[in-house]
Amino acid sequence: MKRTFLGEFEEIVLLVVAGCTGEAYGVTIWERVQEYTGRSVSLSAVHATLYRLEEKGFLTSEMGGATAERGGRRKRFFSMTNYGNRALQEINEIRQQLWQAIPAEKLQPKLSFS
């Protein structure tokens, strides 16, 4: 089965969008990505990734919700497509399989008292 590869950052962004309960747009997604990963991420990186994901069909967007703070500009609300959903699940399945393949003792942290 042919899958679309998702980069690590793309996957995180996609997961963040998927995890948003309310409306997800550039700034909220950017804040959450930083929150979850604990990394400092530039807004432009988040934007670029969002647009790329949309181009690939994992996300779709619509405009709306202008505020004065934004100078009357609308937000772009992103939501996940079915295709995005399936891609995440596939990734998850593969990960699960891989996890299960790991022998149990390897997962135990070795104690050493040297």
Partner 1 sequence: MEKAPQHNRPPRWVDRLLTIIIAPHFLEDILGDLHEVYALHARQGNARTARLRYLLTSARYVRPYFMKRKPRTYSPTYIFSPAMIKNYLKISLRTLGKNKAYSFINITGLAMGMAVAILIGLWIYDELSFDRYFENHDRIAQVWQHQTFNGQIGTQTSLPFPIGDEIRRNYGADFKYVIMASWNSWHILANGEKKFNKSGSYIEPEAPEMFSLRMLRGTRSGLKDPYSIMLSESVAKAFFGDADPIDKTIKIDNNLNVKVTGVYEDFPHNTTFREMSFMMPWQLMIVANPWLKTMEDPWRPNAYQTFVQLIDKADIDQASARIKDIKKRNINKEQLKYKPDVFLNPMSDWHLYSEFKEGRRVGGRIEFVWLFGTIGVFVLLLACINFMNLSTARSEKRAKEVGIRKAVGSVRKQLITQFFTESFLVSGFAFSLSIALVVLCLPLFNEVADKKIAMPWARPEFWLAGIGFSIVTAIIAGSYPALYLSSFQPVKVLKGTFRAGRFAAVPRKVLVVVQFTVSIILIIGTAVVFRQIQFAKNRPVGYSRDGLISIFTSTGDIHKHFEAVRHDLKSSGAIVEMAESGSPTTETWSSTSGFEWKGKDPEQSVDFSFDEISYDYGKTVGWQFVQGRDFSREFATDSVALVVNETAVKFMGMKNPVDQPMTWFKKPYKIVGVIKDIVVNSPYAPSRPQFFCLSSGQGNVINIRLNPAVGSSASLEKIKTVFEKHDPGSPFEYQFVDDVYARKFFDEIRIGKLTTFFSILAVLISCLGLFGVASFIAEQRTKEIGVRKVLGATVLSVWGLLSRDFVMLVCIAFLIATPGAYYFLNGWLQKYDYHTSISWWIFALTGLGTLLITLLTVSFQAIRAATMNPIRSLRSE
Binding site for partner 1 (CB under 8 A): 25-27, 30, 42-45, 47-48, 51, 63, 66-71, 73-76
Residue 96 CB, nearest distance to partner 1 (Å)?
A: 34
Residues 6 or more apart whose CB falls under 8 angstroms from that of 47 comprise 26
Q: How far apart are CA 22 and CA 17, in angstroms?
A: 10
- Angle, helices 43-56/8-19, rounded to nearest 10 degrees: 80
Nearer to partner 1, 3 or 73 (CB): 73
Shortest distance (Å) from residue 48 CB to partner 1: 6
In the bound state with partner 1, the residue whose beta carbon lies nearer, of 63 and 94, is 63
| Nearest residue (CB) to partner 1, 42 versus 82 | 42
Report d(CA 61, CA 50) in Å as an integer. 10
Task: For residues 23 and 65, give the distance between their C-alpha atoms in angstroms, rounded to a whole number.
Answer: 10
**Residue 30: helix, strand or coil by DSSP?**
helix
Task: Please report how close the Cβ of residue 63 comes to partner 1 at its closest, in angstroms.
Answer: 7
The least CB distance from residue 90 to partner 1, in Å, is: 26
